[in-house]
C-alpha cells in the first residue's frame, strides 16, 4: 500500500467517524439554518449553548486529528463567536447570522482531513496568535459577563425603586 492509498484510507476513516457526522449536522443546523442566532436570543444561556456546540469540533481536532494548532484555532473561533453573540440588544444575534463559526471550523477540519496544504499552513501560522487571542477573548468574555450582571443589577434596582 503506497502513501496515497494510506492517506485515502485514513481520510475515509475520519469521514466515517460519528463525531464528524455530528459536526456536519451541527454546522447545518446552527449556521445554515441560523439556529445559532435564534438560540442566542435567550440571554446568557443561548450563547453558552452555542459554545457547547463547539465541543465536538474541539474533540475531533484534539483527539481524532490530534492537531494542537487546529484545536487552538477552533477554540479561538468558538470563543470569538460567544463574545460577539453576547453583545446586547440583539446586535450579537445579528452578528451571529454573518459570523458562522461552525462553518469556519468545519472548513478547517476538512482542510486537515483532505490534506489541504494551504489550510494546514494557514492554521499552523495562526497557532501562536490563537494563544494570545484566546487569553484576550477569555478576559473580554469575563468583562462582558461582569458588565451584563452589573447592568441587570442596575435595571433591577431601578425597577424595585419604582415599585
The DSSP string of 47-104 is HHHHHHTTHHHHHIIIIIS--HHHHHHHHHHHHHHHHHHT-TTTHHHHHHHHH-HHHH
Helix (DSSP H) and strand (DSSP E) numbers for the chain: 9, 0
Can you give the pTM of this predicted structure? 0.76
Place of cell 450579537: 92
Per-residue pLDDT tens listing for the chain (163 residues): 787 888 788 888 888 899 999 999 999 999 989 888 888 888 768 888 888 999 999 999 999 999 999 999 999 888 888 888 888 878 888 888 898 999 999 999 999 888 889 999 888 887 778 888 878 888 999 999 999 999 999 999 998 888 7
Measured distance CA(23)–CA(31) in Å, rounded: 11
Measured distance CA(125)–CA(121) in Å, rounded: 6
Q: Do residues 45 and 82 make contact, with C-beta atoms less than 8 angstroms apart?
A: no
Amino acid at each position: 500500500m503506497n502513501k496515497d492509498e494510506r492517506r485515502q484510507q485514513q481520510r475515509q476513516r475520519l469521514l466515517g467517524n460519528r463525531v464528524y457526522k455530528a459536526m456536519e449536522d451541527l454546522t447545518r443546523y446552527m449556521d445554515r439554518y441560523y439556529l445559532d442566532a435564534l438560540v442566542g436570543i435567550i440571554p446568557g444561556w443561548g450563547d453558552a449553548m452555542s459554545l457547547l456546540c463547539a465541543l465536538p469540533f474541539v474533540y475531533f481536532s484534539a483527539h481524532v486529528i490530534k492537531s494542537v494548532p487546529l484545536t487552538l484555532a477552533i477554540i479561538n473561533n468558538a470563543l470569538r463567536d460567544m463574545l460577539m453573540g453576547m453583545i446586547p440588544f440583539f446586535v450579537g444575534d445579528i452578528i451571529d447570522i454573518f459570523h458562522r463559526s461552525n462553518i469556519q471550523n468545519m472548513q478547517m477540519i476538512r482542510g486537515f482531513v483532505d490534506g489541504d496544504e494551504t489550510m494546514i499552513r494557514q492554521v499552523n501560522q495562526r497557532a501562536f496568535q490563537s494563544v494570545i487571542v484566546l487569553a484576550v477573548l477569555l478576559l473580554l468574555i469575563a468583562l462582558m459577563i461582569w458588565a451584563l450582571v452589573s447592568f441587570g443589577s442596575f435595571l433591577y434596582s431601578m425597577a424595585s425603586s419604582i415599585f
